Structure 1
């Protein structure tokens, strides 16, 4: 894991950000004040696990279970760090 993402961090969306699925367009979205971010690939399934209860280790373990062989342990902490730096995760 990246040194700047602690494995015991319990990420959660900040209050002003919500995860939504647009059924009409078939897209997963992060809805922010005055902005919408389209999530691609497995991003929504990662964000959905950021409930403030699971730590990064548990999120990685769950995704490794769902996606055997995928480079989850390398990529998920980087993705979470990016969302945190954007101010979308606490």
Structure 2
């Protein structure tokens, strides 16, 4: 579950037994993981929002790491 900690001014990924502080553009990626969008759609949206960024390579790799950690299904 994605939460905003107003006291710390941080975005958190709240998991059953831990909390992960999201930094950089990680929250932009995780926010789009709503169960309706596929990875290609997320990549397309972010590539449009951040032209010139290495979105096509980095976003799928980031999402794969989240899945490996069990933080994302």
Per the normalisation by structure 2, the TM-score is 0.95
Match of 1:55 in 2: 38
Query: Is residue 79 of structure 1 aligned with residue 46 of structure 2?
Result: no
Of the two structures, which has the highest relative contact order with CA contacts closer than 8 Å and spacing of 6 or more?
A: 1
Q: 1:35 Cα deviation (Å)?
A: 1.0
Between the two proteins, the alignment pairs up a number of residues equal to 73
* Cα distance in 1, alignment partners of residues 2 and 15 from structure 2: 9
Per the normalisation by structure 1, the TM-score is 0.78
Query: Is residue 37 of structure 1 aligned with residue 16 of structure 2?
Result: no
Per residue, is there more helix in 1 or in 2?
2
Match of 1:67 in 2: 50
Structure 1 segments unaligned to the other structure (5+ residues): 1-17
Q: 1:34 Cα deviation (Å)?
A: 2.6
Q: 1:25 Cα deviation (Å)?
A: 1.1
Partner SS state of residue 2, structure 2: strand
Structure 2 segments unaligned to the other structure (5+ residues): none
